Structure 1
Amino acid sequence: MKTDLHTHSTASDGTLKPAELVTLADSCGVKLLALTDHDTVDGLPEAKSEAVKHGITFVPGIEVSTLWNERSIHVVGLGIRYEDGKLARVFADVAEKRVNRGKDIGKRLGELGFPDAYEGALRFAAKKGTLSRAHFARWMKMNGYVKTVQEAFDVYLGDGCPAFIKTVWPSLEEGISIILNAGGIPVLAHPGRYKLPEATPLSQLMKEFYEAGGLGIEVCSGSQRSETEAMLADFARQYGFYASLGSDFHTIGGGRPRPGEIHTLPADLDPVWKHLPALAGIL
């Protein structure tokens, strides 16, 4: 069964509306799909409704921005409760931080010779509270300041670059607790993508993620090198993590796989979807 448990829509920094994302996933043969927008659940009702039309089993999710050792670390929450509005209230503060960060990025880009960046990036965002670096990158590409979105990150927006603004997200422990309190399973997103210093290697992140209550890791991801999968599978075995996989799809032609077009998990690992209560008796 083709599965994708990490995707994005226009509710955060994707370019397809939730229903459009589901339709694309269906065309790619996906049968089990999670929408995991950054720090918002706004796209889940639309995606869930569209998934029913296509006969896709839908997993409500979110990707929580957290801070660990002064590094931005993302934690996917799968199988979350979102209908009661509690999660939306929790992330109202995060939305405000995104607005403030966006203004600071816009100011920094202006100083670098790119005027009106904040206003320009907002045109790519569904609303102010979902503004992200990806929206700035698309604005820069549209205006010819960079050739690709990735170039915008590599030269201007990425960690340590001239327009990078450090933001105080919830701690890793707080992010995990938010997901657990919403009935979800915390999954460390694309662990192989983080460029960690020798002082705090990936093994340390895995240990502290486990100790903080983390339950799963993405072994296969469209946003990390496939060569890391064997190493991540070993971490899953070492800590007994559930194994997840996802394309981290944001846009067509964005350099990442389309929904579902990722490697399958090693047969001996414990798939995370087997532990989602809402899927009991379905899969």
Structure 2
Amino acid sequence: MIVDLHTHSNVSDGALPPAELVRLAHANGVTLMSLTDHDTMDGIHAAHREADALGMGFIPGVEISSRWGGRTIHIVGLGLDSENAGVDEFFRDVCLKRDRRGRLIAEKFDAMGIHGAYEGALALAGNKDNLSRTHFANWLHENGHVETYQDAFDKYLKAGRPCCVEVDWPEVAEAVRFIRDQNGIAVLAHPGRYRFTEDWMIGALMEDFKKAGGEAIEVCSGSQTADDDVRFAQAAREMDFLASTGSDWHSLRSSRPTPGTQPQLPKDLKPVWQYLRW
């Protein structure tokens, strides 16, 4: 069984429409997947229909932007009911924050003499209500302001760079509570990516996440190292977390594994999908 419970479509910052993403996963042998776009579930129906047509298992999902200790932390929600009234309300507020951030980023570019960034990024967004830094990076690259996509982040967009704008995302506990209210399971996404200045901080994050009702961590991720996978497999054992695996795939341009080609879980862990209906 090949599982991928962390993928992105062009409904957020991925490259492919939901149905095409599902077909790519199927071609890679994936038998169970989730679409986990950033702060939106608008692509779930299209992805689910395609998965059903191909005979694949499918779990509705989302990746929620949140805050902990002054840092942006991503929480994957699995098994949510995208039809619940509370879902639209929650993400409407988050997407408004995304739009405000986009306008502030564009103002910073204007001040540097780089004009038209907001309109350009918005034109590249598959979902106009879900503007991301990825769309700005793509626009900068396509218009010759940087040599590569990654240069856009390294020079302008990542933390500490001149066009970075922090967002007042919901706290981790609020994101977890929302997921649980929608009968989902909260998963701490790619814990190996949070390069805290002190080693104890990742442990504190996992403890706070668990206290808030978080039940799983992403043990295997296409956006962390093999050593990270080993480290967080042990954390799942010691802290009694359910375990998830996901490619965190966005586009063919990315160096991350394509859907389903990321490492699968060690056999002694408790797979999160065994605790979900699909």
TM-score (norm 1): 0.95
Give yes or no for the alignment of 1:110 onto 2:110.
yes
Residue aligned with 1:128, SS: coil
- Equivalent residue for 1:213? 213
In the alignment, the residues of structure 1 paired with residue 238 and residue 112 of structure 2 have an alpha-carbon distance, to the nearest angstrom, of: 46
Whether contact under 8 Å (1:99, 1:128) holds in the other structure is: no
Q: Which residue of 2 aligns with 1:158?
A: 158
Give how far 1:86 is off.
2.6
What is the match of residue 187 of structure 2? 187
Distance 1:183 1:28 in 2: 30
Distance 2:38 2:95 in 1: 10
The alpha carbon displacement at 1:149 in A equals 1.9
CA contact (8 A) 1:65 1:74 kept: yes
Cα deviations by residue, 1:16-71 (Å, 9 ceiling, x for unpaired): 00011011111111110100001101000000001111111011000000010110
User: Structure 1: where are the runs of 5+ without partners?
Assistant: none
User: Is the CA contact 1:186–1:216 (under 8 Å) kept in the aligned structure 2?
Assistant: yes
Letter in 1 for 2:19: A
1:49 aligns with 2:49: yes
One-letter amino acid of the structure 1 residue matched with residue 177 of structure 2: S
- 2:22 alignment partner in structure 1: 22
Please give the alpha-carbon distance, in whole angstroms, between the structure 2 residues aligned to 1:184 and 1:110: 42
**More off after superposition, 229-238 vs 61-70:** 229-238
Q: Cα distance, 1:199 vs. partner?
A: 8.0
Q: Percent identity?
A: 48
Change (3 A) 1:179 1:30: same
Cα distance in 1 for residues equivalent to 2:208 and 2:86 = 27
Aligned to 2:246: 246
Distance 2:147 2:2 in 1: 33
After superposition, the Cα gap between the structure-2 partners of 1:104 and 1:199, relative to the gap in structure 1 and judged at 3 Å, is: farther
| Contact 1:217/1:243 (<8 A) preserved | yes
TM-score (norm 2): 0.97
- 2:64 matches 1:64: yes
State whether structure 2 residue 68 is matched by structure 1 residue 32. no
Tell me, yes or no, if the aligned pair for 1:179 and 1:186 is still in contact at 8 Å.
Answer: yes
CA distances 1:162-192 after superposition (whole Å, capped 9, x unpaired): 1110100000000000100111100000000
1:121 corresponds in structure 2 to: 121
- 2:268 and 2:176 map into 1 onto residues whose CA distance is 26
Q: Secondary structure at the match of 2:24?
A: helix
Contact 2:84–2:182 (CA under 8 A) maintained in structure 1: no
- Structure 2 CA distance for aligned equivalents of residues 255 and 199 of structure 1: 26
Q: Count how many residue pairs are aligned between Structure 1 and Structure 2.
A: 278
The residue matched to 1:91 in structure 2 has which SS? helix
Shift of 1:147: 2.5
Distance 1:21 1:136 in 2: 22
1:206 and 1:235 in contact (8 A); partners too: no
Give the secondary structure class of the aligned counterpart of 1:224.
Answer: coil
Instruction: Give structure 2 stretches of 5+ with no counterpart.
Output: none
- Runs of 4+ in structure 1 off by over 6 angstroms are none
Q: Determine helix, strand or coil for the equivalent of 2:154.
A: helix
* Secondary structure at 2:129 match in 1: helix
Q: CA RMSD in A?
A: 1.2
Local SS of the residue matching 1:201: helix
Deviations, residues 69-117 of structure 1 (Å, cap 9, x unaligned): 1100000000111123430121111111111000001111222332111
Contact 1:190 1:219 in 2 (8 A): yes
SS for the counterpart of 1:75 is strand
- The letter of the residue matching 2:201 is P
Task: Compute the displacement of 1:141 (Å).
Answer: 1.1
CA distance in 1, matches of 2:255, 2:110: 28
Aligned mates of 1:142, 1:98 — CA distance in 2: 22
Partner residue of 2:3?
Answer: 3
Bigger shift: 192-201 or 167-176?
A: 192-201
